Amino acid sequence: MTAKWIEQITGSFEDKKRWRQYKARKEQLPASYRTAIDGLERYFMYAGAIVKGDVLMQMLDDLADLIEQSAADGTPIRAIVGDDPVEFAETFIANYSDGQWVNKERKRLTDAIDQAAGDA
């Protein structure tokens, strides 16, 4: 019971464990790939607006899988992200939109309008 209460305050212990594992995976990457994943991670944290820890961790795990495999195959960074890294990042984030706070607000807006219009 205590652990469940603590998790409500601090977040999932499993997500924290996954975060540490993800950070360890990043440290094993060659320097240029680590620089790329750091930049993408930073962008995701600011622009992604992912508020669900499990969704964020799935996104970062998928990113780590992509970068690790690319490093193992010797795929150049530009071949991964293309000429526009922002476009790559936005496309990547779009796959995890169910974790974005804006979706909750979109639902609230729709519900409010439905209620006001008598649809609810």
Phi, psi of 95 (to 5 degrees): -70, -10
* pLDDT at residue 8, rounded to an integer: 58
Give the tens place of pLDDT for each residue, 28-61: 999 999 999 999 999 988 887 777 788 889 999 9
Domains of the chain: 2-117 (1.10.1900.10)
Give the tens place of pLDDT for each residue, 64-111: 999 999 999 999 999 999 999 999 998 998 888 775 667 777 788 888
Phi, psi of 29 (to 5 degrees): -75, 150
Do residues 12 and 53 touch, judged by C-beta distance below 8 A? Answer: yes
52: left (phi over 0), alpha (psi -120 to 50) or beta: beta
